[in-house]
Amino acid sequence: MAFVATICGVVLIAVVLWEGFETVILPRRATRRFRLTRLFYRHTWLLWARLVTAVIPPRRQEMALSFFGPASMLILLSIWAWIMILGFALLQWAVGSTLMTHDGKTGFLIDLYMSGTTFFTLGLGDVVPRNAPGRFFVVIESGMGLAFLALIVAYLPALNQSFSRRETSISLLDARAGSPPTAAEMFRRHGREPEMESLRQLLHDWEHWSAAFLESHLSYPVLAYFRSQHDNQSWLAALTAILDTSALAIAGVEGACRHQAQLTFAMARHAVVDLSIVFRTPPADQTPDRLPPERLAALRALLAAAGIKLREGQTDQRLAELRRMYEPYVHVLASYFRLRVPPWIAEEDWLDDWQASTWERGDVRRSRTERAGGEHF
């Protein structure tokens, strides 16, 4: 029995150490097929999402879903800590319960208590090891407890900084592409300048954003569960709008920054594909189509009203080919994370987030037709 307890204790400690190393320290995507951390997030997220959908009113679901990212991270760290405590308690028990209280009591519960106080470095002194193996395990566990706390102290600020950098660019996109961002608004708001220089610069910035997003979310996949401040914004909506804009520029917008659009498209698609691999969400087509022929005609008309023309010929076919390269991944990620995919054209009645607060929204809401051909300010 002691042998079995020893094996179990060693396995529990080794699993947590390796999971923690891959999740917190390793600066690249873990490729093992079986990971406890992945199983934890996948099953708890799907359970939470179903529960929220079934119980919470629709207007409050986004807020409820936003709790999962931070809460799951704290729960996972707590699970790791308690598994480590249990593992060391099993080792102490396997060597004969070499721990004793001042009144002479021994046993597994005493081992478990001592393991907890040692791991969290409480140093109460009411339980002491009686021989060398017990002292050895106490020293090792206390060192691991200190390292665990140090990793948490370093891990949480790193997550917050990555989240803040991600959300800053998403918030900046509000005035540049609408809320939610759309390709039509992106062109309408940047298309009047010669050679669309501001759009080229925007796509250049988002090429770098996509690269930073990819690296941070491969290193810390939990960030994908952290939702944006506003219900109509998300990292997926921003990436999709940038991909739509780049695809349209590549396919046939006259005077558009085609080369920069190709670079941004490649980087943004790389991000959605790799994230789909990380979360094991294989691509799937979406029904109905995001851009059916009638919506494409409306898009042409909207761009024409803003002074932007699409080249004739193979533009529609080329655009469809480019869309097939990323939309299946976008749709499946949206389904998994319960996020909305932005349309190609903004809805008729809308406001950017910066234009109105909760108190003003009903007073200042204007239809899209009032400003279809002019400025958005």
Given this model, what pLDDT does residue 356 score? 67
Confidence of residue 377 (pLDDT cuts 50, 70, 90): low
Residue 128 DSSP one-character state: E
Amino acid identity at 326 = Y
**Cis bond leading into 180, ω under 30°?**
yes
* In contact, 299 and 345? CB cutoff 8 Å: yes
- Cα distances (angstroms) measured from residue 289 to each of 101, 215, 239, 293: 69, 31, 18, 9
pLDDT, average across residues 287-304: 87
State the chain's mean pLDDT as an integer. Answer: 84
Beta bridge partners of 135: none
Q: Where are the domains of the chain?
A: 2-154, 178-371
The reported pTM is 0.84
CA distance 213 to 235: 9
Question: What are 62-94's pLDDT values in tens digits?
Answer: 999 999 999 998 899 899 999 999 999 898 888
Q: What is the DSSP string of 61-77?
A: HHHHHHTHHHHHHHHHH
| Fold classification of 2-154 (topology level) | Helix Hairpins (1.10.287)
Angle CA 346–344–281, to nearest 5: 120
Q: How many CB atoms lie within 10 A of CB 114?
A: 28
pLDDT reading at 366 higher than 50: no
Given this model, what pLDDT does residue 138 score? 85
Q: By three-state DSSP, how is residue 255 classified?
A: coil
Question: What are 116-168's pLDDT values in tens digits?
Answer: 888 988 877 777 777 788 788 888 988 998 888 888 888 888 888 899 999 99
* In contact, 216 and 274? CB cutoff 8 Å: no
